[in-house]
Amino acid sequence: MRILFIGDILGRSGRTIVNERLPGLIKEWKLDLVVINGENAAGGFGITEVIYNEFIDAGADAVTLGNHSFDQREALVFIERAPRLIRPVNYPKGTPGRGAALVEAKNGKHALVINAMGRVFMDAMDDPFAAVEREISACPLRSGADAILVDMHCEASSEKQAMGYFCDGRASLVIGTHTHVPTADHRIMPGGTAFMTDAGMTGDFESVIGMNKDEPLNRFLRKLPGSKFEAALGPATLCGLAVETDDKSGLATKVGPVRLGGVLEQTTPDFWR
């Protein structure tokens, strides 16, 4: 299975590059599964139903979220009728929506997509490891799903890496999101799970993690809030990870970073050229 994960889409510039480039990438790379993190898609804070539908129409098979899942209050309602919109699985019991979904890939196979949120330097949540364990045990690789993808949305690199090893050999991919900076540690772990500490942001990198530079600078320099954060609107870089899995085992055989457009060094998976 050919899988593309696209990191945190931030604001209008991030949405634009995804909507413009994704349909062509699906065709060119013969992608089977596309998962994107959309928790910053609405101006940096949450997601709306219109934006979610745009991503699905562009070719996304699932959209994961994170700590900004419900910043747009309409998400509390529309998430129930958006079966491929996945909020963190370790939100408290009774939170609207779902933390995992078995989605049909473009090749007719099925992928379990799980979204979890870390607890280090973030709001208190239920245990993400226990929550992920429940989902993987209920729908294991090979017998329950042809591929399993875990989006570990958290601040600490250590927590993301720990989740990678926790799932090694039982998931096709564990990918970190939230910190908006692509890391250089993409690899296949000893048990066969593809891993990257952070996929990076799909947005304008002439910014402070996607936000217009002025207000973050003001707060760092003066320790006083001046105005609200606003998403930077320059040309975006699409950041993510490409993974190819073995049809029999569901484990990763190839992995490579993706960076397209904007100001970062461009890279595409050489095994799909």
Q: Tens digit of pLDDT for each residue in 29-42?
A: 999 999 999 999 99
pLDDT confidence of residue 272: 86
Contact, 63 vs 84, CB < 8 A? yes
pLDDT (average), residues 124-137: 97
Residues 6+ apart with CB under 8 A from 143: none
Q: Residue 189 and residue 147: Cα distance in Å, rounded?
A: 16
Per the annotation, the verdict on 186 as an active-site residue is no
- pLDDT for 178 equals 96
The long-range contacts involving 138-142, CB below 8 angstroms and separated by at least 24 positions, are 139/100, 139/102, 139/112, 140/170, 141/170, 141/171, 141/172, 141/249, 141/250, 141/251, 142/248, 142/249, 142/250
Of 219, 221, 202, 215, the residue nearest 264 (C-alpha): 202
pLDDT (tens digit, 9 = 90+) per residue, 59-102? Answer: 999 999 999 999 999 999 999 999 999 999 999 999 999 999 99
- Alpha-carbon distance of 206 to 49, in angstroms, equals 28
Angle at CA of residue 89, ends 86 and 92, nearest 5°:
120
Q: pLDDT tier at 222 (50, 70, 90 boundaries)?
A: confident
Answer left, alpha or beta for residue 176, where phi above 0 means left and psi between -120 and 50 means alpha: beta
In angstroms, the CA 186 to CA 241 distance is 8
Q: How many Cβ atoms sit within 10 Å of the Cβ of residue 57? A: 11
CATH 3.30.2270.10 is right for the domain spanning 2-272: no
pLDDT category of residue 16 using cuts at 50, 70 and 90: very high
Of 68, 153, 178, 186, the catalytic one is: 68
* Average pLDDT for 169-191: 98
Name the E strands within 44-146: 62-64, 85-86, 100-104, 110-117
Q: pLDDT grade, residue 115 (50/70/90)? A: very high
Query: pLDDT, tens digit, for every residue of 4-14?
Result: 999 999 999 99
pLDDT for residue 221 is more than 80: yes
**22 token code pair:** 């994704």
What is the residue extent of each domain of the chain?
2-272
Q: Give the residue-averaged pLDDT of 150-162.
A: 97
